[in-house]
Structure 1
Amino acid sequence: MRLEKLQTNRSRTWTRMAMLAALLGGVGFTVAETAVVPPHTPKVGAIPKYPPGMFQPPSPTTIPDDEMGAMIRKGQRIFMHTGELAPQFVGNRLACANCHLDAGRMPDSAPMWAAFVSYPAYRSKNQHVNTLAERIQGCFTYSMNGKAPPLGDPVLVALQSYFQWLATGAEVGSKMMGSGYPKLDQPEREPDYFEGQKVYAQNCALCHGANGEGQRSSDGKQVFPPLWGPESFNWGAGMHRIGTAAAFIKANMPFSRGGLLSTQQAWDVALFMNSHERPQDPRFAGSVDATREQFHASDDSMYGRRFNGHLLGSGR
């Protein structure tokens, strides 16, 4: 009876949230653009106040009304609605703004103003110095489970223009406060799948679905992103790493309530999330074992490990 009541309450809550999204006419996770529909969200149109010493990206009202401004706005729209506006490069139901919150503005969620001044940079993932454009290409390949836009493509130009504008006034040459995801302490005990399952049911399932499928509005638009399964990021994405996911979750989840979970809970739910199947790593080396040995030989990755008799990465 208690479970049935909980499910009924969640259904009612989601209905109210979907109605609000429809009334406001938006599905992006940003307070700088239009609608934000989860509970406990900032007022629509508000610009968050950042801690003292934190870089403050410019207000959207300062985007110039000229050709450059038009490209910046195009980049912002692509960032928020990537699958709709760049479908030729996207293979799932995610958008850039799902991992880079508040339209790429929010500190501690890998903000784009910090990324812009951090590249070119060496990346151990592909073992060479990457330009910002190449880094964005990687996001399309892995996080979007799609294909990389070619250099000079209008999608890349628009996104880089938007990132440059976000970084207006940012310092170059040192790591900025709020960049990336904050380093997370190690858990007091080993992350536990079943404890993570409990955390997920209590704090995540309402928005992301009982099976990690996310939530869509009545017109089919993705409101909350899928966390695993065929419409989520693939095994090559950085978020598949337990530590990366835990750091993001601790700082930013539940949405607009970052810091609510304990460090241990963040590790537990990250392990739970990343112990499910998702699309294959594009670098697949002919077998799961070979791919793990080459790209995932770490305790931070569940790829190629057996859980409950299932070989993760096998796609079955």
Structure 2
Amino acid sequence: MNKTIITLAAATLFSHSVLATTELPDKQAELPAHPKTEKSDHLVPRDFSTIPNTPFGDKVKQGYSLFVNTQTLQGKYVNNQQNCVNCHMQAGMKADSAPLWGAFMAYPAYRSKNDKVNTYAERIQGCFTYSMNGTPPPQDSPELVALSAYSYWLAMGGLLDKYNMQNTPIPELSDAAVQLGGNDESFILPIEMMKDLPAGKRGSLAGRSFPKLDKPEQAPSIERGEIVYNTTCASCHGANGEGIRDHGVQSFPPLWGKDSFNWGAGMHRVNTAAFFIYENMPLGKSIQITKQEAWDVAAFMNSHERPQDPRFKGDLKANQEKYHNHQGYYGKTVNGKVLGEHSY
């Protein structure tokens, strides 16, 4: 593989991409769900002990550290009590939990909701804006580069090993290349992979999303969901969705309230939350509740107030009509209160 070609070509293309805008388009468009795939088809990233002791390896290590403990960016880029790993399990490596290796290979990609091609770095920026209720790290910042490098390292190591190239070292890319993503002509893969993974069609790796659940037999119920939450979820996430905090450290994340993800985050959608909950919760004991219970508890979780949608410009109805035509409770009346009207 010619690392120089990858680096220079990606850098040239990346220079034409704009990561920061004055508006806040919907960079948090719903992650497409797919049928569950066989475990044998999933990528398995390389062991962390193989991360090289080089400047690029240091970026990968920093990316891992930021991913599992994003609270180190509290007050700078993060304004709630969430960590990236709360939604992307096992340090972003777990298949069927929106793993980083799948996301990296899916970008750059066109998104109809903001009518532009988004780079991988832009996708991460969207997570900071919405899931972290914060401020996105700027282009080329050490944090954005590190998170991108970590994602690339997971993806490339998994691909090389899947194609029986275990002895091939992971090429070290430029900052521009890792921020671009792997789904582009400039991102050159070994010839052994190119037939299976042509540029523009790398966003469908097995296990890259939350597996889609069938529609429930009964409409999701907030009331039934409250029962599921109290018996299954409250021990980790608190009676009032506040999570568990000990000695200033948030060990389990809040699910609603001022320290949770805001109304623009993908997880506030009932269907997205149901897909995630069924596959990944309770932590370490996934697929322990029924599909109907997953839908119900997702409805209960998302029927509470949380931080305001960053795209809100003073008109709740207008914001609802523009950005919330999906399964959610933003702008709707629940227990006599219009959600979003008194957001944090």
TM-score by length of 2: 0.75
Q: Which residue of 2 aligns with 1:211?
A: 240
Q: Any idea what SS the aligned residue of 1:271 has?
A: helix
**Distance in 2 separating the partners of 1:138 and 1:124:** 15
2:114 corresponds to which of 109, 115, 126: 126
| Pairing 1:77–2:65 present | yes
**What is the distance in 1 between the residues matched to 2:324 and 2:140?**
31
Task: Indicate the residue corresponding to 1:231 in structure 2.
Answer: 259
Paired residues of 2:74 and 2:80 also in contact (CA < 8 A): no
Aligned partner of 1:98 in structure 2 is 86
Distance in 1 separating the partners of 2:80 and 2:112: 26
**1:288 and 2:316 equivalent?**
yes
Alignment check: 8 A CA contact 1:143 1:237 kept:
yes
Q: SS state of the match for residue 122, structure 1? A: strand
Q: More displaced, 173-182 or 83-92?
A: 83-92
- Greater relative contact order (CA < 8 Å, ≥ 6 in sequence): 2
Q: Which residue is 2:299 aligned to? A: 271
1:34 equivalent in structure 2? none
Given that residues 78 and 86 in structure 1 are in contact (C-alpha distance below 8 angstroms), is that contact kept between their aligned partners in structure 2? Answer: no
Q: d(CA) in 1 for partners of 2:220 and 2:152?
A: 38
Q: Which residue of 2 aligns with 1:39?
A: none
Q: Which residue of 2 aligns with 1:193?
A: 222
- C-alpha separation in 1, matches of 2:48 and 2:78: 26
Measured on the aligned residues, the alpha-carbon RMSD in Å equals 1.3
Q: Select the residue among 124, 133, 147 that pairs with 1:145.
A: 133
1:242–1:124 CA distance, 2 compared to 1 (3 A): farther
Q: Separation in 2 of the partners of 1:72 and 1:124?
A: 31
Identity of aligned pairs, percent? 52
- Which residues of structure 1 form unaligned runs of 5+? 1-49
Larger mean CA deviation between 166-175 and 305-314 belongs to 166-175
Q: Is residue 254 of structure 1 aligned with residue 307 of structure 2?
A: no
Given candidates 307, 331, 334, the residue that maps to 1:304 is: 331
Q: What's the CA shift for 1:111?
A: 0.2
Give the gaps of 5 or more residues in structure 2. 1-37, 160-192
* Contact map agreement 1:209 1:215 (CA 8 A) in 2: yes
Letter in 2 for 1:214: G
Quick check: 1:167 aligned with 2:155? yes
Pairing 1:7-22 to 2, within 5 Å after superposition: none
Give SS of 2:106's match. Answer: coil
**1:27-61 deviation digits (Å, cap 9, x = unpaired):** xxxxxxxxxxxxxxxxxxxxxxx922221111111
Structure 1: which amino acid aligns with 2:321? Answer: E
Which string of whole-angstrom CA distances, capped at 9 and with x for unpartnered residues, describes residues 207-234 of structure 1?
Answer: 00000000012x2111000000000000
Question: Would you say how many aligned residue pairs link Structure 1 and Structure 2?
Answer: 265
Q: Deviations over 1:104-130 (max 9, x none)?
A: 001111000011100011223423211
What is the rounded CA distance, in whole Å, between the counterparts of 2:276 and 2:233 in structure 1? 14
Q: Give the partner amino acid of 1:136.
A: I
Q: Following TM superposition, by how much is the alpha carbon of 1:85 offset from its aligned partner in structure 2, in angstroms?
A: 3.9
Contact 1:86/1:155 (CA < 8 Å) preserved in 2? Answer: no
Cα distance in 2 for residues equivalent to 1:117 and 1:177: 12
Q: TM-score, normalization: structure 1?
A: 0.81
**C-alpha separation between the residues in 1 aligned to 2:63 and 2:239?**
33
